Amino acid sequence: MAGVREARGDLHLEGVTKTFGDFVAVDDLTLHVPRNSFFALLGPSGCGKTTTLRMVAGLEQPTTGRVLIGDTDLTGSRPYERPVNTVFQSYALFPHLTIRDNVAFGPKRRKEKDAAQRAEDALELVQMTQFAGRKPAQLSGGQQQRVALARALVNHPEVLLLDEPLGALDLKLRREMQVELKRIQTEVGLTFIHVTHDQEEAMTMADTVAVMNKGRIEQLGPPSELYDLPRTRFVANFLGQANTGVGAIEGIDGEHLVADVLGTKVKILKDRSQVHEGEVLFGVRPEKVTVSRTQPAGVGNDVKGTVRDVSFLGVATSYLVDMPSGTTWSCYEQNLDVEPLDLRPGDEVWLTWNPGHAFGVSPEEA
């Protein structure tokens, strides 16, 4: 299988299905990951993302379909035969070896003459050179994760798989490592495939995000596109917060659809709605909604509500507003150096939004 180890190019999954008995974990998945890109598989537990990763790694074999790098079919080959390495959440370092020896382990086992130098280069890349003589137990969780990353990078894989690699870290360290992982990926130019259920993690690092649900990809694209213009109810609700309501499309006004959503007339740009007749799930993100004490003139797309809760978040203030329909909307106002609204629970407010920021999707789950 020497040819498999030398495989180079984009990663392709062609019609990949994986079943465990009667359970379909991955359902006819076709996916193209460009070489040297940072790609994220995002979704809730049980959606099939880790099973997909394990099939790329060779830890599982597809029930049907093929896994290829470039023109080389990896299907059926074993993990050690593939030009693929995996970084797990658990680090999996050898406790009795120094950090230097942990990182050099792979090249030394393959009897590569420059194993020591490659280990030093990998430790420098992850900024762990000064800890090379320590044992894993003497390092923090974040430092151990860097070592696990160096141990994978030292093998110069064509594809590096990251399985919830930051899940065990605290929030501050996780955010620091997000920036570090993106820096390292840019510097070494490898294909990174990152599995996570953390939307912020995926959106911070990845060039492309695939949102998975029930073994299928619901939507794939740049993070900003998925957030701004979701195509399904699942993506709208999974990726960030959204104020949503099911309504009926009643007509067209120029470039806009006009819908009645729980008694409120709203407009949605036609090219921002996945459905143009019948029922629609209307949505608008909290930061796109403006909160006012009085009704702004001539804006349209406005509704009167009652403040339920006010939370100061530092950079912004979050408002929960009870709507006439019985739903509760979330809104964010940036804390700029201007006159604050000074709202209290029970105050009446007007919520307005630009129809160009709203979106419409099918109310039915796929």
Tens of pLDDT, residues 111-142 = 888 889 999 999 998 889 999 999 999 998 88
Give CA–CA dist 98/120, Å, rounded: 13
Q: Find out whether 358 and 283 touch, Cβ atoms under 8 Å.
A: yes
Q: How many domains does the chain have?
A: 2
Q: Find out whether 250 and 278 touch, Cβ atoms under 8 Å.
A: no
How many residues in the chain?
366
Query: For the residues 167-182, what does the mean pLDDT come to?
Result: 83
Query: For the residues 317-330, what does the mean pLDDT come to?
Result: 91
**Across the beta sheet with 23-33, what order do the strands follow?**
23-33, 11-20, 64-69, 72-73
Which CATH number does the domain housing residue 67 bear? 3.40.50.300
Q: pLDDT of 27-63, one tens digit each?
A: 999 999 999 999 999 999 999 999 999 999 999 999 9
Q: Do 176 and 68 sit in the same domain of this protein?
A: yes
Here the tokens at position 366 are 């796929």
| pLDDT confidence of residue 299 | 65
User: Within a domain: residue 366?
Assistant: no
Q: Do 357 and 223 sit in the same domain of this protein?
A: no
Give CA–CA dist 313/311, Å, rounded: 6
| pLDDT confidence of residue 334 | 85
Q: pLDDT of 91-102, one tens digit each?
A: 778 999 999 999
Query: For the residues 303-323, what does the mean pLDDT come to?
Result: 92
User: Within a domain: residue 235?
Assistant: no
| pLDDT band at residue 145 under the 50/70/90 scheme | confident
DSSP letter assigned to residue 344: -
| pLDDT band at residue 22 under the 50/70/90 scheme | very high
Q: Do 140 and 250 sit in the same domain of this protein?
A: no
Q: Do 250 and 222 sit in the same domain of this protein?
A: no
Q: Do 170 and 83 sit in the same domain of this protein?
A: yes
What residue numbers bound the domain in which 205 lies? 11-228
Q: Do 157 and 75 sit in the same domain of this protein?
A: yes
Identify which of 317, 311, 320 has the alpha carbon closest to the alpha carbon of residue 340: 317
User: Within a domain: residue 160?
Assistant: yes
Q: Do 196 and 53 sit in the same domain of this protein?
A: yes
Percent over 70 (pLDDT), the chain: 98
| pLDDT confidence of residue 313 | 87
Q: Say if residue 300's pLDDT is above 80.
A: no
| pLDDT band at residue 1 under the 50/70/90 scheme | low
Higher-confidence position of 90 and 105: 105
Percent over 90 (pLDDT), the chain: 64
Q: Say if residue 277's pLDDT is above 70.
A: yes
Which CATH number does the domain housing residue 259 bear? 2.40.50.140
Q: Do 162 and 285 sit in the same domain of this protein?
A: no
| pLDDT confidence of residue 96 | 93
Q: Say if residue 174's pLDDT is above 80.
A: yes
Q: Say if residue 236's pLDDT is above 80.
A: yes
Give CA–CA dist 25/64, Å, rounded: 12
User: Within a domain: residue 21?
Assistant: yes
User: Within a domain: residue 267?
Assistant: yes
Give CA–CA dist 277/25, Å, rounded: 34
Rounding to the nearest 10 degrees, give the CA dihedral for residues 62, 65, 68, 70.
-170
Q: pLDDT of 202-228, one tens digit each?
A: 998 999 999 999 999 999 999 999 999
* pTM greater than 0.85 (yes/no): yes
| pLDDT band at residue 366 under the 50/70/90 scheme | low
Q: Find out whether 249 and 262 touch, Cβ atoms under 8 Å.
A: no
User: Within a domain: residue 305?
Assistant: yes
User: Within a domain: residue 114?
Assistant: yes
Report the mean per-residue pLDDT for the chain: 91
Q: Tell me which of 194, 228, 262 is where a domain ends.
A: 228
Q: Do 261 and 174 sit in the same domain of this protein?
A: no
Q: Tell me which of 200, 228, 256 is where a domain ends.
A: 228
Q: Do 215 and 280 sit in the same domain of this protein?
A: no
DSSP letter assigned to residue 90: T
Give CA–CA dist 306/288, Å, rounded: 18
User: Within a domain: residue 233?
Assistant: no
Q: Do 125 and 200 sit in the same domain of this protein?
A: yes
Q: Do 195 and 274 sit in the same domain of this protein?
A: no
Q: Tell me which of 172, 194, 228 is where a domain ends.
A: 228
Task: State whether the Cα torsion 262-263-264-269 is positive or negative.
Answer: positive
Q: Say if residue 314's pLDDT is above 90.
A: no
